[in-house]
Each structure stands twice: as C-alpha cells, then as structure tokens.
Structure 1
C-alpha cells in the first residue's frame, strides 16, 4: 500500500492508502508526484484539476469542437479509467451526456453515423 496525500478545494489536508498499481498510474499520468518510497502527493485539488483541463483544452469539446465546460473521461471510470490529465478531456454537456460510460471508439463510431 502507498499513502496518497492531497488537499481539498478548501485547503484541508487528507490522506488515504491506495494500491501500488494505482499509485504508479497516478504518477505516470501526471496526477501525483513521488514524495518518498511510501508516499505520493496529488498535484491538484478537484477544482484546480477541472480548471486545468478546461484551460488546457481551450474550453473546446474534444468530441465535436464546440464550446465545452465539462470534463469527460476517455476511458470511463466505470471501465477502470482514472481522473488524470492523460485520461480527461474537455467536453460539451451534450457530448458528455451522450458518451456516458461508453468506450471512446463506440461513441465516435456511433456519432459519425
């Protein structure tokens, strides 16, 4: 087990124990940094992460190119995806709701019809 530390949107500190494989994923996908061999630190609060993704993607929906103000997981959380910069993109509300927890390829193929 690895200790994950972070802060809430209001600045309160928190920590939890997570599996080693998840810790590796969070560090590899730029959501956390290694503090020591037993601890990683989350880089973003929830609010800061949302703002980072929206600004990174210039408030443009990854799927349709229109204005976007929501965050969507390319690999849905329900299918094992994580909330990391590599797995999250800006999406408009319509695309986000339409994609739901479908695989990216299935959504893009259905959307093209």
Structure 2
C-alpha cells in the first residue's frame, strides 16, 4: 500500500491481500495496479471526512462530537475505513472503549432499565 503522511511524505507498506480487499471495498483505498493499492485519505483528511459526513453529531447520543470511533474496534479486527468509523462525543467514545456496537448498545439499554 502506498500513501502520504499528514506532513506530505510518501510511504510504502506491505499488507496482506485480504486486508487490501477490505480497504478497497470499504472506500479507504483504490487499486493502482495488481501489486499496489493507494490510500485515499491521510489521517487528517480522514478525520475531517468522518466529522463532516456526520455533521459533528455523535453517532450514539446525538450531541456534539469531535472524535472518531470504530464501530467494530480495531482490537477486534475492525479497520479504519469510512464504513467502520463514525463521529462520537468524547464521553461516548470513552464509554464504548473496545466494545463492539452491539455490546455497547446493550450496556446502554441495561443502564436505562436500571434507572
């Protein structure tokens, strides 16, 4: 995979073919040739894309959000792609931590039932 860092430096990184397919399928990279894919966004561009796409509204509670959260956490095999990332407020992002979406929403439901 090829890309550019936030400060404009080019990089090259070898990745597994299965990961390359996921990144292309989820609109995080595109195919240059049969041996190379190129990342579409730098980290800064990706963050701006997600926050703008979601209108700075937290995916979980609707409040103002300025962080990015992975619906399927990276610790559980999720990737940093537009399909897997959403805008989140700091509180929801920290509360969700490394739980997947289903685990997090179940914990919220339990909290409301116990109140």
TM-score bin, normalised by smaller chain: over 0.9
Residues 60-107 of structure 1, C-alpha deviations (whole Å, 9 max, x = no match): 000000000000000000000000000000000000000000121110
Find the counterpart in structure 2 of residue 92 from structure 1: 89
Find the counterpart in structure 2 of residue 38 from structure 1: 35
Separation in 1, partners of 2:79, 2:31: 18
Query: What's the offset of the Cα at 1:112?
Result: 2.1
Query: Rg bigger for which structure?
Result: 2
Count of residues paired in the alignment: 110
SS in structure 1 at match of 2:12: strand
In structure 1, the gaps of 5 or more residues are: none
Find the counterpart in structure 2 of residue 64 from structure 1: 61
Find the counterpart in structure 2 of residue 49 from structure 1: 46
Q: Which of 28, 40, 50 does residue 25 from structure 2 map onto?
A: 28
SS in structure 2 at match of 1:40: strand
Separation in 1, partners of 2:62, 2:9: 36
List 4+ stretches of structure 1 deviating above 4 A: none
Find the counterpart in structure 1 of residue 76 from structure 2: 79
| TM-score for the superposition, normalised by structure 2 | 0.94
Per residue, is there more strand in 1 or in 2?
1
CA-based RMSD of the aligned residues comes to: 0.5
